[in-house]
Homo-oligomer: A and B are copies of this chain.
Amino acid sequence: MQQLSIDDIEDIARGAGILGTGGGGDPYIGKMLLAEEYRRGSVATLMDPDELADDALVVASAFMGAPSVVMERIPSGDEAVEALRVLERRLGRPVTAVVPMECGGLNSMIPLLVAAKTGIPIVDADGMGRAFPELQMETFGVYGVSGSPIAICDDRGHSVIVDTGSDNVSMERHARGVTIRMGGVAYIAEYPMSGADLKRTAIPRTLTLAQSIGKAVATAKSMNRSPLEAVTDCCANSIYGHARLLLEGKVVDVARATSGGFVSGTAEVRAFDDSRSVTLTFQNEHLIAREGDRVLAIVPDLVSVLDIETGLAINTESLRFGQRVHVVGISTPPIMRTPEALQVFGPAAFGLTEPWTPLEDIGVAAGALP
């Protein structure tokens, strides 16, 4: 167990933005709420998965819906705690630890806020290893944990509990409908599971990985290396195993539409010398990077767009013409690449016809990459 400082949290936010592969929301509001909570003397405690008892009760914590709405309806921070309490009452026992649903800006901050506000530890792990747009796309569910019952709360003190048994797709469908009627954003507690199940199904130690990445990016300049190098080094030395630059260039086109509660679209990044062009397709998060017909990286592997100067991630809502960026591919840990996992969040789950190919197996054309 380890108490996280507010600097640790800044690092986690920075790193989780990169692992969030364009989604998970802007962490800004979350960091502000955490800073306020820390000023009141609260502290979030990080717990390694190995420290969890097998019979512990762990619950995934997150916001759900449109990140843009969060900026218009700033939460008090109590909504996500209330979701946890509603689920505890349903289950009839107290939660031992919370775990992030996903890696991603705001959704790394929300469970930290819950941990700081309640004193309940947060497990150093998550259920997506990146960000994904839907609740059934969690490794917890892939490996047999039911998302139900899920508690959904809003900022008016209203709560909903959805229980669809082991049918996590229906759980997502109902929770999405409730979130839309709650005004486009809600706070959830889901996938109640044992400590043993958490250890079996979660992507381990992604909070400390985010922290390392965030810290390396922030200190790169003072260490005389590029932020890009800091990111690829950190990823290569983790269970993710491999990261590479896909293109250095400028955002020259963004087409984005909001429908069904998602932000979907494409973005084109062109090399500064116009020699190459990469198109990114996203549904909240980046799904695929293509150069012409050639796939450079495909879901569940990560595609992140980083500001060239700062190394900070630019999420899909914030992409705009003229940004100077590094498009980076990051491979995923083996637990996210099994046939069961690919069935739930592989290319076909997003309507992509390209076959799944691990990033590190995609040939790099000679001279194509710097």
Task: Determine the chain B residues whose CB is within 8 A of the CB of A181 once the complex forms.
Answer: 173-174, 177
Q: How far is the CB of A296 from chain B (nearest CB, A)?
A: 37
A308 at interface, CB cutoff 8 A = no
- Partner-binding segment picked from A164-172, A195-203, A223-231, A268-276: A164-172
**Which residue on B lies nearest to A153, using beta carbons?**
B163
**Closest B residue by C-beta to A180:** B177
- With A177-B178, A177-B180 as given contacts, are A162 and B160 in contact (CB-CB < 8 Å)? yes
Q: How many copies does the complex hold?
A: 2
A90 to B163, CA, bound (A): 13
Q: Measured between C-beta atoms, what is the minimum distance from A184 to chain B in Å? A: 13
CA of A199 to CA of B337, assembled, Å = 61
Q: In the docked arrangement, what's the CA distance between A157 and B174, Å?
A: 13
Q: Is A99 an interface residue (CB 8 A)?
A: no
Q: Counting CB contacts under 8 A, is A298 at the interface?
A: no
Max count, chain B CB within 10 A of own CB: residue among A160, A165, A174, A177: A160
A167–B154 alpha-carbon span in the complex (Å): 14
Least CB distance from A263 to B in Å reads 22
Query: Is A159 an interface position by the 8 A CB rule?
Result: yes
**Which one of B160, B162, B180, B182 lies within 8 Å of A163 (CB-CB)?**
B160
Is there a chain B Cβ closer than 8 Å to A156's Cβ?
Answer: yes
Q: Nearest residue in B to A150 (C-beta to C-beta)?
A: B160
B90, B159, B165, B174: the one contacting A178 at CB < 8 Å is B174
Q: How far is the CA of A308 from the CA of B161 in the complex (A)?
A: 48
In the complex the two chains form, is B161's CB within 8 Å of A174's CB?
no
Q: Is A158 an interface residue (CB 8 A)?
A: yes
A159 to B174, CA, bound (A): 10
Q: Are A159 and B163 in contact (CB under 8 A)?
A: yes
Q: Are A174 and B160 in contact (CB under 8 A)?
A: yes
Closest approach, in angstroms, between the C-beta of A154 and any C-beta of chain B? 9
> Which residues in B have their C-beta under 8 angstroms from that of A164?
156, 158-159
Report the separation of the CA atoms of residues A164 and B159 in the bound assembly, to the nearest whole angstrom.
6
Q: How far is the CB of A192 from the nearest CB of chain B, in Å? A: 15
B174–A167 touching, CB < 8 Å: no
Closest 9 CB pairs of A and B: A161-B161, A158-B164, A177-B181, A159-B163, A160-B162, A177-B177, A174-B181, A158-B170, A173-B181
What would 15 A/B residue contacts be, using CB atoms closer than 8 Å? A156-B167, A158-B164, A158-B165, A158-B167, A158-B170, A158-B174, A159-B163, A160-B160, A160-B174, A160-B178, A174-B178, A174-B181, A177-B180, A177-B181, A178-B178
Supplied contacts A159-B162, A173-B181, 19 more A-B pairs, CB within 8 Å: A86-B163, A90-B90, A156-B170, A157-B165, A158-B162, A158-B163, A158-B164, A158-B165, A159-B163, A159-B164, A160-B161, A160-B162, A160-B174, A174-B178, A174-B181, A174-B182, A177-B177, A177-B180, A178-B178
